[in-house]
Amino acid sequence: MGQAQSAVTKTQEQMATGKRVLSPADDPVAATTILKLNQELARTEQYKKNIDVADNSLSLEDSTLQTVVELMQQMNVLAVKAGNTAVLTAADYKSIAAEVDTRISELMNLQNTRNASGQYIFAGYQGDTQPFVNKGGGNFEYLGDEGQLFLQASASVSVAVSDSGKKVFVDIPSDHNTVNTSASSSNRALPASVVSVGQIVDQELFDSFYPEDMVIAFNANSAVVPNGPNYTVTERSTGKVLVANAPYVSGEEINVMGVSLSISGSPVAPTPASLPFNFDAAAAPIDFSANPTTLKISVGGRSETLEFNSLPVVNNVADFAAMLNAAPNAAKLANLGLTASATGFVSANGMNISVQGGNPALQSATGLTTMAGVVSTNGKAGDSFFVESTDKQGLLTTLSRFSEAMKSVKDTPESKALLSDLVAKTLSNLTNSITNVVSVQGEVGARQNTLESSRDLNLDVNLFVQQELKSVQDLDYAEASIRLSMETLVLNASQQSFTKISQLSLFNYL
| Higher per-residue pLDDT: 424 or 487 | 424
**pLDDT of residue 280 exceeding 80:** yes
Long-range contacts of residues 438-442, Cβ cutoff 8 Å, at least 24 apart: 438/69, 440/65, 440/163, 440/167, 440/168, 441/62, 441/65, 441/66, 441/69
Q: Are residues 322 and 426 in the same domain?
A: no
Given a contact cutoff of 8 angstroms between Cβ atoms, the answer to whether 259 and 198 are in contact is: yes
Distance spanning both ends of the chain, measured CA to CA: 30
CB-count exposure of residue 15 (10 Å: 0-12, 13-18, 19+)? middle
Report, as an integer, the average pLDDT of 237-258: 94
Tell me the β-bridge partners of 246.
231
**pLDDT for position 336:** 92
C-alpha span between 383 and 51 (Å, rounded):
50
CA 321 to chain CA centroid, Å, is 49
**pLDDT of residue 20 exceeding 70:** no
Give the chain's length. Answer: 510
Q: Are residues 100 and 46 in the same domain?
A: yes
**pLDDT for position 44:** 86
CA separation, residue 283 to residues 280, 324, 372, 475 (Å): 6, 18, 19, 105
Q: Give the CATH number, domain containing residue 130.
A: 1.20.1330.10
**pLDDT for position 115:** 93
Q: Are residues 130 and 242 in the same domain?
A: no
Quick check: bond before 312 cis, omega within 30?
A: yes
| Higher per-residue pLDDT: 42 or 270 | 270
Q: Are residues 68 and 199 in the same domain?
A: no
Report, as an integer, the average pLDDT of 281-305: 94
* Structural domain contains residue 508: no
**pLDDT for position 11:** 52
Per DSSP, the residues of 298-357 read EETTEEEEEEE--SSPB-SHHHHHHHHTSTTHHHHHHHTTEEEETTEEEETT---EEEEE
**pLDDT of residue 471 exceeding 70:** no
**pLDDT for position 268:** 96
Given a contact cutoff of 8 angstroms between Cβ atoms, the answer to whether 224 and 209 are in contact is: no
**pLDDT of residue 97 exceeding 50:** yes
**pLDDT of residue 493 exceeding 70:** no
Q: What tens digit of pLDDT does each residue of 28-71 get?
A: 765 677 677 668 788 888 989 999 999 999 999 999 999 999 99
Determine how many CB atoms are found less than 10 A away from the CB of residue 246.
17
**pLDDT for position 239:** 84
**pLDDT of residue 451 exceeding 50:** yes
Given a contact cutoff of 8 angstroms between Cβ atoms, the answer to whether 403 and 140 are in contact is: no
* Structural domain contains residue 179: yes
Q: Are residues 305 and 242 in the same domain?
A: no
Three-class SS state of 380: strand
Report, as an integer, the average pLDDT of 353-368: 96
Report, as an integer, the average pLDDT of 69-94: 95
Q: Are residues 290 and 413 in the same domain?
A: no
CA separation, residue 8 to residues 1, 5, 17, 482, 484 (Å): 11, 5, 14, 12, 6
Give the HSE-up count for residue 447: Cα atoms under 13 Å, Cβ half-sphere.
28
Domain that residue 356 falls in: 273-375
* Structural domain contains residue 480: no
CA 339 to chain CA centroid, Å, is 40
C-alpha span between 217 and 236 (Å, rounded):
11
**pLDDT for position 499:** 63
Q: How confident is the model at residue 211 (pLDDT cuts 50, 70, 90)?
A: very high
Q: How confident is the model at residue 462 (pLDDT cuts 50, 70, 90)?
A: confident
Number of H helices, E strands in the chain: 11, 20
Which residue spans within 94-162 are E strands per DSSP?
132-136, 139-142, 150-152, 158-160
**pLDDT for position 349:** 85
Tell me how many domains the chain contains. 3
Q: Are residues 151 and 291 in the same domain?
A: no
Q: How confident is the model at residue 460 (pLDDT cuts 50, 70, 90)?
A: confident
Specify the DSSP element, H or E, that contains 497: helix 477-503
* Structural domain contains residue 496: no
Q: Are residues 199 and 346 in the same domain?
A: no
Q: Are residues 368 and 436 in the same domain?
A: no
Specify the DSSP element, H or E, that contains 215: strand 214-218
Task: Let me know the angle formed at the C-alpha of 259 by 428 and 105, rounded to the nearest 5 degrees.
Answer: 55
* Structural domain contains residue 108: yes
Q: Are residues 210 and 115 in the same domain?
A: no
Q: How confident is the model at residue 489 (pLDDT cuts 50, 70, 90)?
A: low
